[in-house]
């Protein structure tokens, strides 16, 4: 049964504690990466057979497999994929940046050049369940950014093929190269390249503890988005919330993974007790009861705060991946929220809406890093170069200032590199 506690009765470090998803996999991940670097495709095949129970042949998805997947998914689901893709594209198109030039006196030109990252790797999980939604969330912002080469990796099913829904989503998103490999070995392949899998410059997408640790270890060789942990939701709810709906929203998060976290913060003990009862009732009829129950009993909690102001303070301290404001007039509380990955406003905006259809990204900062990190966006797929142009007269006008600054830092060579241009 989920725990109920009053805020202030338990030390914050215990109340806000999160489960460690890494489980000390650092050494094994390092071994996997080294193996892929040394043995390439053969290592990918051996490791996929060991961890996924299948030896995919070929490693890359063929056009025939794409065609079979499109024929296998029901038309209604294909239409939903297309609708979701349109919404995601409409939202992320607003994030696109433009290069700029600013002009100063004496012909000075300063500017910033926006360039899409040339080669990007997209990781799509397929463990306890397939995630075609993640394909859309990873790929569409990259397409909008203009990335010319996108490579997707995802674990194969037991039949040696990729889940049809994932491949259908890849086609809808415009991804043509998909490889049947997952886990730390897939991250290693994207970072270092193999005979089949091309090396990329950046890797994005969520995954399990092995994937997260592999991304951490290859960072520096390539860029990454974030090191993602188990998924989480925090709901701030007042007494006017329906206990059955709040419980359902919490279980929607809990069914992801045994390590997922679902938290309710409320100013109503009556609601807390009703939600506790509802969670137990709904768990008994949930198809993924075993997973959701482990999540709820090990990581879930209900915190009763003295008022909604305190509840928002608690949310800001936890900095959840998903934050639901299930309150009257949710927009009046929006400015008080400082730390959250994605915010769901009101009683008719469940997390599932954001997971699939609304448009904002569902690849989000977890584990409290929403205090300084952001959702996946078009910004993740671009890089910025700045440029400077001075005429000789413009440089002459600031040469003495530059020399003074350089000499204050005891860098005479810097000063001379400027002044030498104006020697007679």
Tell the residue number behind the tokens 């700045």, with chain if given. Answer: 386
Report the alpha-carbon distance of residue 32 to residue 185 in Å, rounded: 6
In 104-204, where do the E strands start and end? 109-116, 119-123, 149-154, 177-180, 202-204
Contact 279, 296 (CB under 8 A): yes
- Measured CA to CA, the distance from residue 174 to residue 354 in angstroms comes to 21
Please choose, from the candidates 271, 275, 251, 246, the residue with its C-alpha nearest in 3D space to the C-alpha of residue 262.
Answer: 251
Decide if 235 contacts 250 (C-beta within 8 A). yes
Q: Of 321, 351, 410, 414, which residue is the catalytic one?
A: 321
Query: Residue 271: which residues within 8 A CB-CB, separation 6 or more?
Result: 237, 238, 239, 241, 243, 246
Those residues with Cβ within 8 angstroms of residue 24's Cβ, 6 or more apart along the chain or in another chain:
none
Looking at 322, 351, 414, 423, which residue is catalytic?
322
149 flagged as catalytic: no
**Annotation says 321 is catalytic:** yes
Give the three-class secondary structure for 64. Answer: helix
The torsion angle over the Cα atoms of residues 1, 242, 330 and 270, rounded to 10 degrees, is -60
Strand partners, 261: 232
List residues with catalytic annotation: 321-322
């Amino acid at each position: 049964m989920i725990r109920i506690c009053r805020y202030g009765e338990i030390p914050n470090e215990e109340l806000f504690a999160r489960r460690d998803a890494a489980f000390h996999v650092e050494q094994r991940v390092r071994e996997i990466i080294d193996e892929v670097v040394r043995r390439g495709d053969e290592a990918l095949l051996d490791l996929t057979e060991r961890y996924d129970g299948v030896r995919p042949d070929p490693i890359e998805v063929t056009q025939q497999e794409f065609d079979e997947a499109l024929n296998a998914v029901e038309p209604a689901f294909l239409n939903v994929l297309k609708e979701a893709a349109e919404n995601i594209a409409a939202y992320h198109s607003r994030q696109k940046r433009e290069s700029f030039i600013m002009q100063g006196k004496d012909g000075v030109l300063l500017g910033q050049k926006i360039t899409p990252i040339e080669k990007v790797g997209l990781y799509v999980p397929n463990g306890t369940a397939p995630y075609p939604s993640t394909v859309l969330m990873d790929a569409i912002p990259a397409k909008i950014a203009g990335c010319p080469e996108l490579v997707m990796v995802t674990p194969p099913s037991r039949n040696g093929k990729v889940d049809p829904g994932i491949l259908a989503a890849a086609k809808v998103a415009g991804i043509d190269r998909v490889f049947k490999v997952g886990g730390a070995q897939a991250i290693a392949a994207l970072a270092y390249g193999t005979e089949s899998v091309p090396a990329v410059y950046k890797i994005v997408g969520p995954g399990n503890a092995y994937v997260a640790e592999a991304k951490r270890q290859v960072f520096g060789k390539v860029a990454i988005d974030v090191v993602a942990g188990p998924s989480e939701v925090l709901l701030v709810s007042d007494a006017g919330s329906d206990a059955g709906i709040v419980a359902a929203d919490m279980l929607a998060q809990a069914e992801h993974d045994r390590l997922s976290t679902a938290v309710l913060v409320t100013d109503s003990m009556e609601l807390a007790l009703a939600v506790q009862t509802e969670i137990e009732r709904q768990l008994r009829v949930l198809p993924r009861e075993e997973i959701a129950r482990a999540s709820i009993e090990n990581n879930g909690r209900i915190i009763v705060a003295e008022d909604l102001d305190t509840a928002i303070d608690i949310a800001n301290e936890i900095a959840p991946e998903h934050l639901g404001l299930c309150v009257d007039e949710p927009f009046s509380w929006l400015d008080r929220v400082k730390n959250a990955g994605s915010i769901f406003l009101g009683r008719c905006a469940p997390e599932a809406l954001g997971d699939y259809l609304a448009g904002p990204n569902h690849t989000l900062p977890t584990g409290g890093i929403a205090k300084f990190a952001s959702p996946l966006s078009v910004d993740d797929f671009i890089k910025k170069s700045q440029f400077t142009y001075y005429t000789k007269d413009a440089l002459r006008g600031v040469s003495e200032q530059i020399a003074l600054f350089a000499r204050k830092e005891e860098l005479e060579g810097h000063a001379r590199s400027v002044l030498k241009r104006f020697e007679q």
